Structure 1
Amino acid sequence: MTPADLSLTVQHAVRRAVDEGVLSVEVPELVRVERPRPGGCGDYASNVALSLARAAGATPRHVAEVLIERLLPHPALDRVDITGPGFLNFTLRHDVQQDLVRAILRDGLDYGRRPDTGEIAQPCYRSDVRAAVTADAVRRLLLFQGVRLRTASEDAADDEWALLGVRIEAQHSRPHLPTTIAPLPVPDGAAELYRRFGVDAARWGLLSAAAHDHAKLTDELLHQHEGNPLFRVRYAYTRTRALLRNAGQLGFASEPLQTVDAPALTGLLRDHPAVLASAARLGAPDRVARHLEATADALLAFQHTVLPLGDEKPSAAHRSRLALAEAAGTVLAGGLALLGISAPDQI
């Protein structure tokens, strides 16, 4: 169960309570689910009971108890606890990891995609190369979240932006649209960035820093060593492809048969859809870049456990570890694609 799945599950529990006449509130369009804060417990937490209490004319704890009654039958939930004044804390079933891996391998690069929401957006960006590349990444993220949109530039678009993979949709100014995407500018234009770094490194350098920070455009982007986050992310992906090839040579394939002891990596894979949703909502592709870095680091720490060692025979544990590594590679490739960056099978 991903955070997005859990959010919908809680929303459905609220709707059931309303339909049954137990709560008299408006069903929220979105239930926020996040990692537990200090004092919390379990895998995830939500303040939905606190946000509904006033409208329901009840205490947050009572609202939480009403929701727990409708949540606990869910097969993916092991327990739901109440902490503090009424926070819901969710503990997932241990074998939910297999379901997560199966979902990622089933959906492939579409893992985390939302169906068409009917929502329409038209973000406007300042007319410079960093804003244009950022707007292009935000466009990809919003489309992935089911939002229909057309981006617009304050001034005429620069044809050279296409060198960095920017899809130019608006050639003329739209003065009635406020500028919604305006990261700190960079001194160089698209042609110079393309010449120095190429498409992938230039886009990573422009997108991996928060909008209020300076872009990370240094020669380190081209160095193939662990100090370069872009190299680390792409290298981690290539490791998953190599593991699959090596496993094939040893006569086994990936299959999530049992739970693998890799909580950090599993948690990051589970959080991926929520990261994409928040990055799209906030217009912040740097959130995706940071999440990919963390996923790559967790995968690189885990990869050494995947293949059999010495005379060891492939087992269900090896198949399950390989499936988790393959799922991690899928998340890395999908995240890079949404940033407009390629994921080569070999470096």
Structure 2
Amino acid sequence: MPARRRCGSLAPVTPADLADAIRRAIRAAVDADQLRVDVPAEVLVERPKRKEFGDYATNVALQLAKSAGRPPRDVAAILAEQLAAQPGIAAVDVAGPGFLNIRLAAGAQGDIARQIVEAGPRYGTSTTLRGQRINVEFVSANPTGPLHLGHTRWAAVGDALARVLQAAGAEVTREFYINDRGAQMEKFGASLAAAAVGEPIPDDGYHGRYIHDLAKEIAGEHPEFLDLPPDERAAAFRDEGYRRQLERQRRALEHFRVHFDVWFSERVLHESGAVEAALDELRRQGHVYEADGAVWLRTTDFGDDRDRVLVRSNGEKTYFAADAAYYLDKRRRGFDTCLYLLGADHHGYVARLKAIAACAGDDPERTLEVLIGQLVKILKGGEEVRLSKRAGEIVTLEDVVDLAGVDAVRYSLARYPADSPLTLDVDLITRQTNDNPVFYVQYVAARTASVSRHARDLGIDRGAFDPTLLGHDREIDLLGALAEFPRIVASAAELREPHRIARYLEELAGTYHRFYDACRILPVGDEQPTPLTHARLWLNDATRIVIANGLELLGVEAPERM
């Protein structure tokens, strides 16, 4: 087994470790006056597509050649010599115009299994985003009805993104913005009151079946509401319906494994005076003016297509005024980045939100991010299930979970880029076959658990670990895939793309299946366990940990049995 340490540094077993080793080699070349360059903050390390090119490759010599004032192959030759002296590296070859192909010493890559098992749930986490406070706002909804399929997609994607950001070291707050002010609340109350006394629901009211169910429930517990004058009755049903509907949204989300740290009320935002305070602050910044009896924010100075009204000529504050106040409130609460996940019909919000940030004196490229999601269709039996909240034909979050289960829905919604339209086939995602991605990944979780369980039944534990024994091609493939997990998590966080986790897990599942088929883990019959048995058990358990950690980032369970 190669030496684990040299000059206080660990032998490289992951791409991140190897990147550190390359930076040390560059520093050594600089100290020896072989190169005059700055040590780069980041070094790209990749697994070659062809195994004969080594275990890993880097283009760092091409990256440094210009600043070094030397041909890339000369830089590569210097770095190859320095890098080959690093612990755990067997050989470094210069290829093509200046690529470095790196082969790890026997056991160096195998030791990734030990690192994963010892790290357990921590494996894959990093400090990439340490020090950043990020507010993630998603599933913004009116408390006037159930959460529908569009909300369900953002619940899955937003929560997965929050988990990934936390895994990368950020301090994350999940926030639900309650749209509980304005005409829709009055229509909600009027609809409930009408349903309760058997009157026709107003044409512009809410007509879903849930309105009648909710009205009956409220009237049953508060019969005194029925004797109130019409306006008071509508207000009473509005307030009680709001409380109950919001609680149902909360329970539905919790069942979906989505927990919000903050439930932020638009009504409270206005009642607290925060909107007036925001207008005052924007005035101080010099971007507010009056025209035609209204109060405007000069957002065209910052890329918006037109200036926006803050206060109408009748004195009524606009939704835009609330948006401005809400952004400023988040910044006052100390968030470095305000991340909004908005629906497909909110493309026009991007420029105006960025203009708000700029008018407030912020750099919107640093403090504000907006992700726009696309629509979701759901199929059952090959037929589209259509959504129509006004007509009462609504597919709710609860409906989708009842059809397919939390795991299948969360995984399926999170495995695609949020900005791509998505069709969710209930028949496919509930099928226990390998063409169902969530089953394919969860089956590996169950199979690895089964192997460990069977080993215990045979009285075999992981025992002593000799990483040099893991030299089979399928073992090397699996170790390389496992080593990629921290990089995948960090990349998913930095790019705000949690679907990268799902796609990685599917590739890892295939790699594990090939390993399982080619490399017998446990003895059969009268065979006795060997050191290779123990080494492969370490590798099996390391796979179980990475699969479980990846599924946890998506809010999906890693079953022990299927």
Cα–Cα, structure 1 residues 15 and 132, in superposed 2: closer, same or farther, change >3 Å?
A: farther
Q: Which residue of 1 aligns with 2:552?
A: 337
Aligned: 1:183 with 2:367 = no
Contact 1:184 1:211 survives alignment (8 Å): yes
Three-state SS of the structure 2 residue aligned to 1:98 is: coil
The secondary structure found in structure 2 opposite 1:217 is: strand
Q: TM-score, normalised by structure 1?
A: 0.89
Which amino acid is the alignment partner of residue 242 of structure 1? S
Residues 1:84 and 2:96 are matched in the alignment: yes
Deviations 1:243-265 (A, max 9, x none): 11211222211243322522322
Q: 1:295 aligns with which of 508, 516, 527?
A: 508
Q: In the TM superposition, what is the alpha-carbon distance from 1:235 to its structure 2 partner?
A: 1.6
1:240 partner amino acid: T
- CA offsets 1:141-175 (integer angstroms, 9 cap, x no match): 12212233445678859745444223324545534
The worse-fitting range, judged by mean Cα deviation, of 225-234 and 258-267 is 258-267
SS of the equivalent of 1:277 reads helix
Q: Is the 8 A contact 1:205 1:215 kept in 2?
A: no
Matched residue, 2:105: 93
Which residue type is aligned with residue 470 of structure 2? Answer: T
Q: What is the CA deviation profile of residues 173-193 of structure 1, one whole-angstrom value per residue up to 9, with x for unaligned ones?
A: 534364433332325553333
Conserved 8 A contact 1:124-1:154: no
Name the amino acid aligned to 2:439. F
Provide the C-alpha distance between the structure 2 equivalents of 1:165 and 1:272, rounded to a whole number of angstroms. 23
Match of 2:497 among 271, 284, 292: 284
Cα pair distance change 1:96/1:39, threshold 3 Å: closer
1:211 corresponds to:
418
Residues in 2 aligned to 1:331 and 1:303: alpha-carbon distance in whole angstroms: 16
RMSD: 2.7
Give the TM-score taking structure 2 as reference length: 0.57
Structure 1 match to 2:243: none
**2:526 maps to which residue?**
311
Dislocated runs of 4+, deviation >6 Å: none
Change in CA separation of 1:170 and 1:12 when aligned onto 2, cut-off 3 Å: farther
Contact kept? 1:164, 1:202, Cα under 8 Å: no
Residue 44 of structure 1 is aligned with which of 48, 53, 56?
56
- 1:242 aligned onto 2:441: no
Structure 2 SS opposite 1:225: coil
Over the matched positions of the two proteins, sequence identity in percent amounts to 35
Which residue in 1 is equivalent to 2:470? 259
Of 538, 541, 554, the match for 1:326: 541
Unaligned stretches of 5+ residues in structure 2: 1-12, 141-150, 180-245, 265-325, 328-352, 358-366, 378-394
Structure 1 residue 33 displacement after superposition:
0.8
Of the three residues 467, 477, 483, the one matched with 1:270 is: 483
Q: CA deviation at 1:333?
A: 0.7
Q: Which has the larger radius of gyration?
A: 2
Indicate whether 1:346 and 2:561 are aligned. Answer: yes
The answer to whether structure 1 residue 230 and structure 2 residue 242 are counterparts is no
Amino acid at match of 1:323: W
SS in 2 for 1:166: coil
Deviations 1:272-326 (A, max 9, x none): 2222222222222222112211222222333351121233222222222222111
Gaps of 5+ in 1: none
| Aligned residues of 2:128 and 2:490 also touching (Cα < 8 A) | no
Deviation string 1:40-97 (CA, Å, 9 cap, x unpaired) is 8111111111112112222222222222232111221111111111111111123224
Residue from 140, 151, 154 that aligns with 1:131: 154
Is the CA contact 2:15–2:46 (under 8 Å) kept in the aligned structure 1? Answer: yes
Alignment partner, residue 54 of structure 1: 66
How do 1:59-74 residues align onto structure 2 when only pairs under 5 Å count?
59-74=71-86
**1:15–1:118 Cα change, 3 Å:** farther
Question: Please, which moves more after superposition, 79-88 or 63-72?
Answer: 63-72
Equivalenced residues, count: 347
Report the equivalent of 2:229. none
Equivalents in 2 of 1:154, 1:85: separation in Å? 54
